[in-house]
Amino acid sequence: MVALFALGAMSLGWMALVGAFIALEKMLPWKRLANRSVAIALAVIAVGVALAPGMASGPGM
């Protein structure tokens, strides 16, 4: 919850995305598949932000 609060202070869009991932992990009946899918998605987002940091922030997000 603290991480979501800090993330929300910086960007509501990213907070909503991470919150949606957390909700998916909690609500899907396949826990292992959900956890791995969310981990892969977050890793892909992290690599994308590392390669193009200008695309991660700005007026559109």
What are the pLDDT tens digits along the chain (61 aa)? 677 777 778 778 888 888 888 888 888 888 888 888 888 988 998 898 889 887 766 555 5
What is the structure's pLDDT at 47? 92
Contacts of 14 (CB under 8 A, 6+ apart): 7, 56, 61
What is the structure's pLDDT at 21? 83
What is the structure's pLDDT at 11? 78
C-alpha–C-alpha distance, residues 15 and 9, integer Å: 9
